[in-house]
Each structure stands twice: as C-alpha cells, then as structure tokens.
Structure 1
C-alpha cells in the first residue's frame, strides 16, 4: 500500500493507520522566525516520533541555520527512528504546512522514496476530531535505512554562481516581496537586502490556503504565471525552510528537476561574501 499523491489528507491517513505496519509518523515542527511554538501544549498524532530539523539534523559546524548534515549522520539518525528502506513516512508539523516540506526535501535528497506530507498537519487532523496525544513514541527497533545522496536535488553557492545566468534554470525565492526587493530588513544580522539576480519572487504564503496547500490547479497557475524559460527549478528563501514549501508544490504539479538552495539568503546575502545581488 502506498498513497497516490505525495500530499495526503487526514482522512486518507486515518484510514491507512493500522492497515500497514510500515507507516511511520514524524512530527517535523520547528519555530517560525519571530514565532515560537515551544511553550505551547504538545499535541501530536499517536505513535509519532520527532524529526529534529533544528537539532540533530542540522550541521552543528555550519555558520548557517538548518544546513544539511552529512549522509552518514542522517543515516544514523533515521535508523535511530526505526526507519527502514521499505518504511512509508508521513510527515507533518504543528503549524499546518511550514517545516514538513523541508523534511520531505531532506529525505528525498538523502535518497528515501516513500515520503508523504499530511496536508494541514496537526490543525487539520484536529479539525477532523481525530485523536491526539502529548508524548512521542520513544521505544523503537533500529532501522536499516541507507542514505544515498541525490546531488540532482541539491544546490549550493557554487551551483548558483554557475547557473544563475542560465536561461534554462528558473530560480524562485520564497521570501516576502519586501525582503526580496530589499525594502524590508532581513531578520538575521549581517545580511544584505535584495535577491539573487534573475530570480523570481513567489512568497510561500501564496501557495497556501491557511493551513493547507492550495488545490493543484491553483498551484500550477502560480508557477505558470511566470515567464519560465527552462525545465530546472531552484528554490531559495531565508534558510532553506520555506523554499521547500515551493519545491514540494513544484513537485506536486509535475515538475521533476527540482533543487533547494541549502544555504539560501543566509549564505548568499552575507555581507562579507560580496556575491551578485539585485534589488
């Protein structure tokens, strides 16, 4: 059993739970910039585990937030969560749709196949009056997941420098219009305002209808609105989180050549790097 779409509804998930022992639920919640959920009451789906984006799954030696750990570290942490090669992973977050697409991209770039996102996360699950618990599942049998890094899904600074002028590459920036234009200051210190030259601005909120993704046809119209010149899509934002909201939407509408710029503006905008910037 698997789901027909990478984006599943609470009803689809509820109907599948108990029917397939390979389903693993992962809470992928992180705080938003300027908004914290850490003090809120923990409400999660039963039998969930925590996919620790900001802690165990971010490189502690990087000066940048949220950057990927090595495949070796990622593999070890996934095995600790009991994830096997044939597991079916369902990702969600407590905001609705925010950080679960980042976890989706991380798993895909590390070679995992069966990974899905719960549309609307905990709020949508709660709206359906499905059960919630206040504790994570803690005892699991170690899994056999093997990481296989997929370079075709990843972009770093060097890749952007090589391709940002390429007419076959479409670069989308998920930040607000104010930050994209440099009219609003960056929330992180030491960063220029503006954007990568030749990139387009598609604020991530425009792909969402509250806590859920907009319908597929609307997502397609959002991308079709731009004068796209090639089949490759690179997504950037402040630190690689909301870029993944765009990347997942691009995947949903059928585009295959998708990369996320892991460093995003936290790297490109650094004052000391003096990289090409437009405003």
Structure 2
C-alpha cells in the first residue's frame, strides 16, 4: 500500500476485501477503524451502525464540475474528503450500505484506485447487521481532527468511453453491464431522463444482484467464480459498467474475489454512453 507507514504492526489488518458482521462487531470502537455509511440518497436511512460516519458519494466524494453523476474526483478533492472523515495513513476503512451491497463497493474501488488498499465492504450491509439483532444508532459526527491520508490516482482502475469502445471490439476483453436485465434490453425505463434505452453492442448483461444471495450477501466463492466466468471467460480482461458507476463496482469486487486481475470500471457508464450522440446502442426490438 502506497500510503502506509513503517509501523505496519500497528495496522488493523483486514481478512480480505469483504468483512462479515462478526468481524465488524469485534472491531467496533477500535481507533484504527473508520466505518462509513456509503448508502446512496435512495437507500440512506437515519439508522446507522454505531460509530459510522456518513460518506456522501453525491457530494465531496464526486467531481462537482463533471456533467455525469458519481464521477471520480481529482486527487486533491478526494484526499480532502477522506481526511475530513478522519482517514489517515494508518486507518482501516470499512464501508457499508443501507441496501445491502449497492454503493459501498464504490468506496472500496475509489480508495484502491487512489493507492489506499486497507479498505473493505461489509457483506450484506446494514440489513444483514440489523437482521442479527446487532445494535443500531445514529451517524457519528466527523472527527474534530482530520486525517493525514494522501491519495494518489493509480492507472487502470477507471476507463473512459473510448477505452470501452475499444474493449467492445477486443476479443480478449468483456464489458459487463451491472444494470437490470430489463434496462439492458431496453424494456425498462432508465431512471435518468434523456437516456436512450438498451445497451452497448457486444456488452454482456450481469446484473449486480446476481452476485448476491437472497439475504443480500455475496454468493459463496465457488458460485461467485462460476457467475463471473460464465459472463467473462477466464483469460479475458473485464470492464464493468452500470447506470452511473456505483454497481459497476459490485461487479469489479466480484471479479476481484474471483481472482481476476485485469479489471476496470467505466466511470461514465450508461449516464454517459446512453446520452443522445454517436455512441452505438442496441435497443429493444
């Protein structure tokens, strides 16, 4: 990890990019842990896991000058937003979501894309936590003292529309679409006005919900690997897309857990590609 300190023995180490409710319960209150609620505005509630800070993916953790939602901000803005939540070089970050696993993977992907690897998502999010009768409260206030993390963008994590167009024509690449099957087919309306219905010609539909069980937790690893391999055969690099760059990161998380090493997220996703313009769209009918 590029932002670490020499005293690695003082770090709160993670078991992997996904942690369970039991692990989190055992580490609540640890000063090295920064717990964030990354729920989108659609899924946000007043209830929170004790000690959780609200991380706003529509606010400080996106680029205000971009025309598209949830655009990865520049390093300076991202660093300032992370520091305001108390994230330091020695911190360990766990993100969760009010829906289960929807937007929290975006935090995992963004921080890794900026060189910070000690970050994980809570499997099943707030619903899994609450279903086990674990305590809930209200969101904590941001710390008085900011953190000292320094976030530096890394190559290859995010790609643009031209890169996606190239990947669609490349035999060794697969573009996975995390939207629902109906939105992919163009038979369900897009939630954002003005976007064309359908999908990128050559893209493969893999709704992010297909990587989760009925309880909102990720599928067991063998099943997860099988779902990823069925959509993106082994040996091919993976580019993930969705509506606005949130659930594409769920597919990126699944691909990472399945052992895929060449994975990128299309930051603009359908909010960009689906706008009226020259990009080809395979629509209904």
TM-score by length of 1: 0.91
* Structure 1 position 98, deviation (Å): 1.0
> What is the CA deviation profile of residues 196-253 of structure 1, one whole-angstrom value per residue up to 9, with x for unaligned ones?
2221000111111132111111111111223626431100011111111111111111
Structure 1 match to 2:73: 69
**How many equivalent residue pairs?**
271
Q: Is the 8 A contact 1:155 1:262 kept in 2?
A: yes
Q: Is the 8 A contact 2:28 2:51 kept in 1?
A: no
Secondary structure at the aligned position of 1:213 is classed as coil
> What is the CA deviation profile of residues 79-115 of structure 1, one whole-angstrom value per residue up to 9, with x for unaligned ones?
1111111211011011111110111111111111100
1:2 to 5, 8, 13: 13
1:159 to 137, 157, 163: 163
Query: Which runs of no fewer than 5 residues in structure 1 stay unpaired?
Result: none
Q: Is the 8 A contact 2:84 2:142 kept in 1?
A: no
Query: Which runs of no fewer than 5 residues in structure 2 stay unpaired?
Result: 1-11
Q: Which piece of structure 1 moves more, 46-55 or 132-141?
A: 132-141
Partner Cα separation in structure 2 for residue 7 and residue 229 of structure 1: 22
Q: Is the 8 A contact 1:167 1:229 kept in 2?
A: no
Is 2:38 the counterpart of 1:28?
Answer: yes
Instruction: For 1:168-183, list aligned pairs within 5 A.
Output: 168-183=172-187
Secondary structure at the aligned position of 2:202 is classed as coil
Structure 2 match to 1:55: 59
* Structure 1 position 37, deviation (Å): 4.1
Q: Is the 8 A contact 1:170 1:230 kept in 2?
A: no
Structure 2 match to 1:255: 260
> What is the CA deviation profile of residues 120-150 of structure 1, one whole-angstrom value per residue up to 9, with x for unaligned ones?
1111111222222113233342111111111
Is 2:209 the counterpart of 1:198?
Answer: no
Structure 2 match to 1:134: 138
Q: Is the 8 A contact 1:96 1:120 kept in 2?
A: yes
Secondary structure at the aligned position of 1:233 is classed as strand
> What is the CA deviation profile of residues 161-215 of structure 1, one whole-angstrom value per residue up to 9, with x for unaligned ones?
2332011111100111122122333222221122122210001111111321111
Q: Is the 8 A contact 1:49 1:137 kept in 2?
A: yes
Instruction: For 1:12-23, list aligned pairs within 5 A.
Output: 12-18=23-29, 20-23=30-33
Q: Which piece of structure 1 moves more, 58-67 or 73-82?
A: 58-67
Is 2:226 the counterpart of 1:221?
Answer: yes
Partner Cα separation in structure 2 for residue 266 and residue 96 of structure 1: 23
TM-score by length of 2: 0.90
Q: Which piece of structure 1 moves more, 195-204 or 158-167?
A: 158-167
